[in-house]
Amino acid sequence: MPDLYDVLQVSPRAEAEVIRAAYRALARKYHPDHGGDRLRMVAINDAWDVLGDPVRRAAYDSSRGPGSTSPGSASSSWSSRSSESDARPGTASQPAVDPNHAGPPPGNPSGTVLDFGRFAGWSLGEIARTDPGYLEWLQRMTFGRRLRVEIEALLRQPGVHRSPTGHTGPFGRR
Instruction: Walk along the chain (174 residues) and give the pLDDT tens digit of each residue.
Output: 789 999 999 999 999 999 999 999 999 888 888 888 888 999 999 999 999 999 999 999 988 876 555 554 433 332 333 333 344 444 444 444 556 667 777 777 888 888 777 787 888 888 888 888 888 888 888 878 888 899 999 888 887 766 555 554 555 444
- DSSP strand E in 12-171: where? none
β-partners of residue 123 are: 113
C-alpha 137/C-alpha 126 separation (Å) is 16
Domains in the chain, CATH or no CATH each: 4-72 (1.10.287.110), 99-174 (no CATH)
C-alpha 84/C-alpha 75 separation (Å) is 21
Q: What is the pTM of this model?
A: 0.41
Residue 74 sits at φ, ψ, to 5 deg, of -65, -30
